[in-house]
Amino acid sequence: MSSVPAPPQARHKPWEEANPIVSGLLAFLIPGAGHLYQGRVFKGLVYLICIHGAFFTGMCLGEGMAVHYKVPPNAQGFQKISLSYVAQVGAGAWALPAIWQARRVEAKENQRTYSLTAPLTSSFTGIVDGDGPGSDGLTGELVGTISLQPTEGPASRDVEGTFTGTRNGKPVELALAGGLDLDKPIGASPGRFLRIRVAHEPDAHPNLDLAVTGVIPRPVWNWYEVPPDTPQLQEITGRLGKYFELALVFTWIAGLLNILAVWDCVKGPSLGFGDETPGEPVPDEAAKVAVKPVAAVMAIEKGK
């Protein structure tokens, strides 16, 4: 026995039963969540998977730099609005941190540093390189842990420490001292640039000069949606080419599709349930038509 679907005007409309502000906010912040809150599981999952999929594909393709809010210097009026970000911000909570990160990256404390105020220990990947007699066997790729601490030198504050790990796959421990160059704590890439000189061994040639160069990881909140500076942006667009443009398109599409999802969550589907017969009045009009005879009977009864 086949079940007969209820006529459109008799069907319950979850978007009218749920609180529109709560469901709209949920739908905006986490794509699909508003529909799940209303009990519209299929549509909730469609939006959740598709919009998140598009947004994070774009984020990964663009190495985390596709979504950011950057106002060009000396921008006036509408130039301060980044159209790219306007499209992306539709994706809700995932795109909103960009506004906060744009402020954080411009903070005075966020500076490249050449000294330390507190000890620093972190995993490290990079190279040891240099020149001078006897440097051939000492250079190579480094993977391990770096520990640095500030020291008071005779004239100025300096930095010393150790690297423990592997050089070209073989265990090594290097003493480090001076010449620190450490990138800003908040930056657009997951890796923070670090360079420091290797301490001079007493028995090494006086002209031997080695340095360790590489990256230490930044915590997620220090690189997620942080606006890249111009050289970084030029580097990534040059290196990735059309993949970076594709990353932008994916994130724009995710943001724009979520606007449709929010609208659907608050006001319902734009063309109805989908099984209305052509020529039949749309559900709201049908309900009005159905109410009219009842109202007429009530008016007659009142007149009696």
> What are the residues binding other proteins (CB under 8 A)?
40, 42-43, 46-47, 50-51, 53-54, 57, 59-64, 190, 240, 242-243, 246, 249-250, 253, 257, 260-261, 263-264, 268-275
Q: Which is nearer to other proteins, 82 or 251 (CB)?
A: 251
212 and 126 Cβ atoms separated by less than 8 Å: yes
Residue closer to other proteins by CB (options 162, 222) is 222
Closer to other proteins by CB, 7 or 268: give it.
268
C-alpha pair distances (Å), 236 with each of 97, 188, 189, 247: 21, 11, 11, 12
What is the token pair recorded at 258? 């979520």
For other proteins, the closer CB: 55 or 85? 55
Tokens of 77: 């009026």
Nearer to other proteins, 55 or 148 (CB): 55
- The Cα-based distances of 25 to 33, 36, 257 in angstroms read 9, 13, 15
User: Is the sign of the CA dihedral 255, 259, 260, 261 positive or negative?
Assistant: positive
Distance CA 67, CA 57 (A): 12
Minimum Å gap between C-beta 291 and other proteins is 22
Q: What is the DSSP string of 137-182?
A: GG-EEEEEEEEEEEEE-SSSEEEEEEEEEEETTEEEEEEEES--EE
Q: What are the tokens at 269? A: 């589907």
Angle, CA 126 vertex, CA 125 and CA 128 arms, to 5°? 135
Q: How far is the CB of 66 from other proteins (least distance, A)?
A: 11
Q: How far is the CB of 159 from other proteins (least distance, A)?
A: 27
As given in the structure block, the two tokens for residue 159 are 């930095």
Residue with smaller CB distance to other proteins, 25 or 261: 261
Query: Of 81 and 287, which CB lies nearer to other proteins in the complex structure?
Result: 287
Q: Compute the least distance from the CB of residue 49 to other proteins, in Å.
A: 9
Q: How far is the CB of 14 from other proteins (least distance, A)?
A: 9
Q: Are strands 209-217 and 120-131 parallel, antiparallel or unpaired?
A: antiparallel
Q: Which helix (H) or strand (E) holds 279?
A: none
- Minimum distance from residue 29 beta carbon to other proteins (Å): 17
Nearer to other proteins, 95 or 196 (CB): 95
> What does the DSSP 8-state code read for residue 113?
B
Q: What is the identity of the amino acid at 119?
A: P
- Give residue 162's identity as a one-letter amino acid code: T
Kindly report the number of other CB atoms within 10 A of residue 277's CB atom: 6
**Least distance to other proteins, CB of residue 225, Å:** 13
Q: How far is the CB of 285 from other proteins (least distance, A)?
A: 17
